[in-house]
Structure 1
Amino acid sequence: MPAITLSNLSWSTPDGRSVLSNLDLAFGPERAGLVGRNGVGKSTLLRLISGQLPVQSGSLSITGSLFMLHQAVRVEDGETVADLFGATDALALLRRAERGGANIEDLENADWTIEERIESALGRVGLDAQADTPLTTLSGGQRTRASLAGAIFAEPDFLLLDEPTNNLDRAGREAMIALLAGWRGGAIVVSHDRELLETMDAIVELTTLGATRYGGNWSQYRERKQAELEAAERDLADAEKQIAQVERQVQDTIERKARKDAAGRRRNAKGDLPRILLGKRKDRAEDSSGENARLAQRQRTHAADIADAARERIEILKTMSVVIPPSGLPANRSVLDMDGVTAGYEPGRPILRDLSLAISGPERVAIVGENGSGKTSLLALVTGKLAPWAGTIRTLPGFAMLDQTVSLLDPDSSIRDNFARITRERDENTCRAALARFMFRADAALQIVSTLSGGQMLRAGLACVLGGPKPPQLLILDEPTNHLDIASMEAVEAGLRGYDGALLVVSHDEAFLDAIGITRRVVLG
């Protein structure tokens, strides 16, 4: 039976930073979702399993064949869809046969059904392409689908998928979800797509403490995690009560000892006892005091250890907390008015034609549509980065835009300095408190933006846009969940639900759009 087994597996970066430590995991012919915070080692684990990284410590055993699908499909000039299927030579042979240029040996070795099977695989991922379609003519999402079709064609025992829905439009996401829902081989899927994770047979969570397997899909995993959090909080509350009780007992003992010693000194002052007996009593008192102190210290240490263990579990389980101050946007105020707008990047080839869109008050509008339908171009028009060829655009001043590259951040400055610049907040304590809510605590707030991972950078951008004392009355988000881990995503959703300004959002993530209370969808295409 196909299987992947990891025993005591560890891996560290070249500079010695531990990423994975002492992992013991086994995967069979099942669909396993691999989840965890950004930077915890999910993609590293896939690269180790696929052989792209060497195992440094422990062992890795693989029975069966693998296919690895990366987040971005690299394309070389001249490559076609057939290259993703490993079918270029087989198709060239068929073409020679069709032209009458194949010999008898070629005809015997020809795979006469290969084109039909390639078309079938492309159809399963909902991609309208042929084997000879140049990859350079496909969008990033279409290349991802074509690569997945290549995996289906190869019929591996295990699919290794790293954020497979990140660059897919709605149709592509639905095709990916449907494919995995019907997949009968093994699959290890790194993803923050909750719709996709609902199709899993198991969820494996990576944390700084290791890996934990949960049977069932995403919803079942979340129920277990919530129960664990509640148990850890109860343990912490009990431990803190025990600490307080120990301190009270210690104080009571000290006070009783002080009263007893005072009484003894008064008796001694009267001279009623012989000197030798006074010395023995003094020795016993000192021994008793020392034993009480040692007992109290043991009790303190035991209670503190229990509290620290509970806090550590809560630190792992709890996410960032986003609380957004009021924006003060009136209900009838116009925040965006586009009238008859036509625009594009090449003369004579408009991307958007005669588009009108109005947003008033705290409306929540999602821009949806297939890849290439003009969603990002619409945001460029709203923010003034692209001028219309025809029509008019009026946007509320003071809006905030958070794009996929988080370009509002200065890459050479720290998170804290970016926050102070964008929010114009001068008070150090206020800056640090706001950043801490986005999990940039203590020295983490001093990290230089260019050193951050994609998920950390987006989280820093969210902190700078949403964490200030006066949030914008219009917030524009372009695929804000692409690089967020699920824990951070859910915290952002909770914060955005409490935001009283207007939202204009481009996203293919229906779970995210539903969670933030989108009131209207504008479909492009």
Structure 2
Amino acid sequence: MPASVTLHQLTCSTPDNHPLFTDLDLTFGPGRTGLIGRNGTGKSTLLRIIAGRIPPAAGSVSMAGTLGMLEQSVQVSPDTSLADQLGVANDLARLDRLDQGLGSIDDAGSADWSLPGRIESALKSVGLPALALDRPLSTLSGGQRTRLGLARLILAAPDIILLDEPTNNLDADGRQAVVDMLHLWRGAAIVVSHDRALLREMDAIVELTTLGAKTYGGNWDHYAEQKALELAAAEQTLASSQRRVAEIDRKIQAVTEKKARKDGAGKRKGAKGGTPKIMLGGLKENAENTSGEAARIANRLRTAAAEAAAEARAQVEILTPLSVALTPTGLPAGRTVLQADSLTGGPDADAPIIRDLSLQLTGPERVAITGPNGSGKTTLLRLLTGALPASAGTARILVPHAMLDQTVSLLDPGLSIRDNFRRLNPDAPETVGRAALARFMFRADAALQITGTLSGGEMLRAGLACTIGGEHPPQLLILDEPTNHLDIHAIEQVEAGLRGYDGALLVVSHDTDFLQAIGITRRIDLGTPQQEAG
């Protein structure tokens, strides 16, 4: 029987009783399915319910085949080894006993002598060397732990795999390892991801919203085309609804004017006499009754048309990407914004990660810093901004700048978004601040949210609003992995904001779609010899 997962009337809420999805009916069959949706719609929760990690509030999950899961983050205890994480510690201990002549008959009957070779092959396939399997898991980086999780799935070979943001923290080679693994997978795969390159490898896309789930056949590009068609249809419906409202308003106005003319003529005729008063009273009552009924019908029609127009407008707003117009920075094309000479340093002064690096940014350049995990990308940003003292060499930023790290620590989590804007832009009037925040979709009361309560996507959007959204945006913006943990909708909003920014950009990111969307003009690869980079 082909591998499959079927959800029956599945319902789930957050611990504070906020509904995530209700009466969800959905089937995942063989092949690769990308599961997408905005932050907070319950994608990771749905995977955990399918895996049996948490129960739903109602409904059930039925499954054909065995299942394995790669979670977004791994809780690491001090005594967890690589063998424990791979799920092979007991099997390796059995082989070790047999090698020493201490094994039992049961050990001999259960021994898998192919295991060491399969482990080495699995590690190699995900880009890991032949690591010591008694090594503590805590000594691996986040990217290495993700690769180890993929190796575990390869070893276990379940019929169904669940991957939750598998390319987070991975460099280009690691992302390719995920793609290669999925290409070879013969069962069912359900992949939660914001990585558009990975989603292009899917056979189907399921979009999870507060209204339920909708399946789109094909990969990410096909999904994007379908969404564009949906937007065009929604815009057409809105235009038709608005025309209907205008048409009803014209008819109501015409009827009102006709009645006014008729009433005026009746009054003039009554003033001349010749019509009995009792007949005049009857005619007046009939006219008032007819007029009242017509007004009620007209009001019902207009209310219905206005509601249809409002619904169509809301649908267009949901589907329309963010477009941001920003105040120019005034950065001249030939101005040097950043200069680093023979820069050397790192967290360990005795073993610097960055060695003798020279770099210059001029004018409104858009520069990406790329390289494999551990090559020192974040360390370089900290050296350039002075957050980490250099062991040797110099770094100078020569224009007003802002740095948005992975946690957007520039913002005070205890303040509202509006108060953070005022803190960072003390001379800006309230109206200017409100307008800046509205451009980044923090309108009215949304601007009063406490920053520490925001999602990852909202946090980064707030950081952009408070820095480049004001009257005097910085001429250099530095970003460290801005798309990590953001949903695709949030990434597109950030891309739109950055496209409207005319200053210089220095960005650390593995997301090639994001770098292309924001118009990167130059790349500095820390995986190559670091001599002259500018």
- Identify whether the pair has TM-score above 0.5, normalized to the shorter chain: yes
User: Equivalent residue of 1:444, what SS?
Assistant: helix
What is the aligned residue count? 525
Q: Does 1:368 align with 2:370?
A: yes
1:170 corresponds in structure 2 to 172
Change (3 A) 1:108 1:52: closer
User: Equivalent residue of 1:105, what SS?
Assistant: helix
2:57 corresponds in structure 1 to 56
With the length of structure 1 as denominator, give the TM-score of the two structures: 0.97
2:190 corresponds in structure 1 to 188
1:229 corresponds in structure 2 to 231
* CA positional deviation for 1:108: 2.4
CA contact (8 A) 2:434 2:443 kept: yes
Q: What is the distance in 2 between the residues matched to 1:87 and 1:518? A: 44
Structure 2's unaligned 5+ residue stretches are 528-534
Letter matched to residue 400 of structure 2: G
Q: Does 1:93 align with 2:132?
A: no
2:30 corresponds in structure 1 to 29
User: Equivalent residue of 1:443, what SS?
Assistant: helix
CA contact (8 A) 2:322 2:492 kept: no
Q: 2:507 aligns with which of 505, 508, 511?
A: 505
1:355 corresponds in structure 2 to 357
Q: What is the distance in 2 between the residues matched to 1:485 and 1:436? A: 20
CA contact (8 A) 1:438 1:463 kept: yes
Q: What is the distance in 1 between the residues matched to 2:411 and 2:88? A: 44
1:155 corresponds in structure 2 to 157
Q: 1:247 aligns with which of 224, 246, 249?
A: 249
User: Equivalent residue of 1:62, what SS?
Assistant: strand
1:295 corresponds in structure 2 to 297
2:530 corresponds in structure 1 to none
CA contact (8 A) 1:40 1:207 kept: yes
User: Equivalent residue of 1:382, what SS?
Assistant: helix
Q: 1:319 aligns with which of 315, 318, 321?
A: 321
Change (3 A) 1:394 1:160: same
CA contact (8 A) 2:428 2:471 kept: no
CA contact (8 A) 2:343 2:395 kept: yes
User: Equivalent residue of 2:325, what SS?
Assistant: coil
1:292-330: CA deviation from partner (whole Å, max 9, x where unpaired)? 111101210221132122123223212333223211111
Q: What is the distance in 2 between the residues matched to 1:122 and 1:139? A: 15
CA contact (8 A) 2:44 2:192 kept: yes
Change (3 A) 1:42 1:439: farther
1:115 corresponds in structure 2 to 116
* CA positional deviation for 1:111: 0.9
Q: What is the distance in 2 between the residues matched to 1:59 and 1:253? A: 58
1:46 corresponds in structure 2 to 47
1:384-463 equivalences in 2 (<5 Å): 384-424=386-426, 426-463=428-465
Q: What is the distance in 1 between the residues matched to 2:156 and 2:126? A: 14
Q: What is the distance in 2 between the residues matched to 1:364 and 1:391? A: 24
Q: What is the distance in 1 between the residues matched to 2:13 and 2:428? A: 39
Q: What is the distance in 2 between the residues matched to 1:437 and 1:189? A: 33
Q: Comparing 432-441 with 276-285, which one deviates more in the overlay? A: 432-441
1:476-491 equivalences in 2 (<5 Å): 476-491=478-493
CA contact (8 A) 2:432 2:471 kept: no
Letter matched to residue 76 of structure 1: S
* CA positional deviation for 1:174: 1.2
* CA positional deviation for 1:207: 1.8
User: Equivalent residue of 2:190, what SS?
Assistant: strand
Q: What is the distance in 2 between the residues matched to 1:393 and 1:134? A: 37
Change (3 A) 1:3 1:423: same
CA RMSD of aligned residues (A): 1.6
2:336 corresponds in structure 1 to 334
1:213-261: CA deviation from partner (whole Å, max 9, x where unpaired)? 1000000000000000011011111101110111111011011001100
CA contact (8 A) 1:404 1:478 kept: yes
CA contact (8 A) 1:425 1:468 kept: no
Letter matched to residue 185 of structure 1: G
* CA positional deviation for 1:64: 2.0
Letter matched to residue 22 of structure 1: D
CA contact (8 A) 2:11 2:56 kept: yes
Q: What is the distance in 1 between the residues matched to 2:25 and 2:320? A: 24
Q: What is the distance in 2 between the residues matched to 1:126 and 1:496? A: 33
Q: What is the distance in 2 between the residues matched to 1:145 and 1:266? A: 91
Change (3 A) 1:451 1:129: farther
Q: Comparing 187-196 with 170-179, which one deviates more in the overlay? A: 170-179
User: Equivalent residue of 1:350, what SS?
Assistant: coil
Letter matched to residue 197 of structure 1: L
CA contact (8 A) 2:458 2:490 kept: no
Change (3 A) 1:178 1:409: same
* CA positional deviation for 1:425: 5.5
Q: What is the distance in 2 between the residues matched to 1:5 and 1:271? A: 82
CA contact (8 A) 2:34 2:190 kept: yes
CA contact (8 A) 1:203 1:221 kept: yes
CA contact (8 A) 1:419 1:431 kept: yes
2:380 corresponds in structure 1 to 378
1:263-311: CA deviation from partner (whole Å, max 9, x where unpaired)? 1011111121012211210111011111111110121022113212212
Q: What is the distance in 1 between the residues matched to 2:467 and 2:31? A: 41
Change (3 A) 1:97 1:87: same
CA contact (8 A) 1:458 1:483 kept: no
Structure 1's unaligned 5+ residue stretches are none
Q: Comparing 379-388 with 176-185, which one deviates more in the overlay? A: 176-185
Letter matched to residue 196 of structure 2: R
1:94-127: CA deviation from partner (whole Å, max 9, x where unpaired)? 1122222223332222110111111111122111
CA contact (8 A) 1:399 1:472 kept: yes
With the length of structure 2 as denominator, give the TM-score of the two structures: 0.95
1:391-410: CA deviation from partner (whole Å, max 9, x where unpaired)? 11111242110100110010
Change (3 A) 1:182 1:434: farther
Q: Does 1:18 align with 2:19?
A: yes
Q: What is the distance in 1 between the residues matched to 2:328 and 2:456? A: 28
CA contact (8 A) 1:42 1:206 kept: yes
User: Equivalent residue of 1:349, what SS?
Assistant: coil
CA contact (8 A) 1:29 1:157 kept: no
Aligned sequence identity (%): 60
